[in-house]
Structure 1
Amino acid sequence: MLMAKTAIITGSSCIGRESAIALSKAGWNVVLTARRADALKETSLLCESLENCLVLPGDVTDEEFVKRLFNETVVKFGRVDLLFNNAGVNAPAIPLEELSLEAFQNVISVNLVGPFLCAREAVKIFKNQTPVGGRIINNGSLSAHTPRPMSTPYTASKHAITGLSKCLNLDGRAFDITCTQIDIGNAATSLTARMEKGVLQPDGRRMPESTFDVTHVGSAVVHIASLPPDVVVPQFTIMTAKAPFAGRG
């Protein structure tokens, strides 16, 4: 009997939650981590099996916590097959000259330093487990390609995720380590509910934007995670067909 594969997912709700549910239904062990213990508990109860679910609250920007996260995962499940770097934050949409250094650094810390720390610990395990290798999925964004107005911290962090993802693919080749950047546009979650009321556009107008069922993101994560180690999808964009992304809107 083949041992179930194990995924570490950062972020307690929305896309992280849907991905955890989808992976658990597909037979994966899931390790859930985020700062909000209550939200993690809610997600674990929605997964297929509590026995195959490990909840470890913590901060992905805390180096010692990240090390413990991966160590405890290996103790519990024996190996790590997938890291989904999903946790992220944003800053208020305000003019650049009003943005504090603290707000900018917080976004960079969570959206870039956290994924770096988690990827580093994942790679250590991937290189030394048997069979060797593993897969990383980094949550990018349409903002990794095209910014929204007044989004400097978030857009800068997501462009940096593109560089991190490319380096992970290049440096992981010899060890069967692959990386996918998944760019998601307007998946319907509590974070996108505001889009129905209108979102600031580059011309100054506020316009409603369409969304799509977030379960499709979970299905995409399962598909990417289930590919054989000799196959990589470097970039995967999933968005509502009417997103103001291609062309001029």
Structure 2
Amino acid sequence: MEPTLNVSVIIPTWNESRLLPDTLERLKGIAPYEILIGDGGSDDDTQDIAERHGVRCIASARGRAVQMNAAAGQAQGDLLLFLHADSHLDEAGFQRMVAVMKRGRHIGGAFSLEIDSPKPALRTISRLATLRSRYLNLVYGDQGIFVLPEVFRELGGFSPLPICEDLDFFRRLKKRGRTVLLRESISTSARRWHAEGLVWTTSRNILIASLFLMGFSPTRLSKWYPPKR
């Protein structure tokens, strides 16, 4: 019998009651081993939604890195998959991840990015983001980072940064061992682009990442990126 690979899906949340139900319903269709929510003190229905879906909700201080670390500390699976509340992964992508990680050649990886919008400009941004990840090793959290739990613990989890914790973690992961960027995509909401404008949102994202890599303070950079989308 082929060995199984139990996947723990970890979702950081803060006031995500509008999109979380759809995300959890889709995940239930994929049927991972467990779903854990790391909540940063939501004052909407986020925690009630998790309870109604039979999903464990781990409370922590606010901050995506802190929330993901708290939930990961409770995970029991053989693989950790960090998924944003406004991102969706289909069955084919999930099974591809499992198949690749079962081979034992990689310690982690991420998916390609697909922004959920028919607009040609956003489709172009999606393609460029995937190329950025593949050739520059700059992977964002909305690409669904996955990692072996023992490696996650060895790396100390996500650094408690107010922003760019995903870029920091994947760069450290890449240095630790072999990673993979799957051709299968995660679909992420276009809500930031719709709310704040395509040019501004894209330019700001590039600037924040560039300044972070140059050593600028994440605390200062986080002021340009409001948490509520």
Give the TM-score category using the shorter length.
0.3 to 0.5
What is the TM-score when the length of structure 2 is the normalising length?
0.39
Highest relative contact order (Cα 8 Å, sep 6+), 1 or 2?
A: 2
Between structure 1 and structure 2, the one with the greater Rg is 1
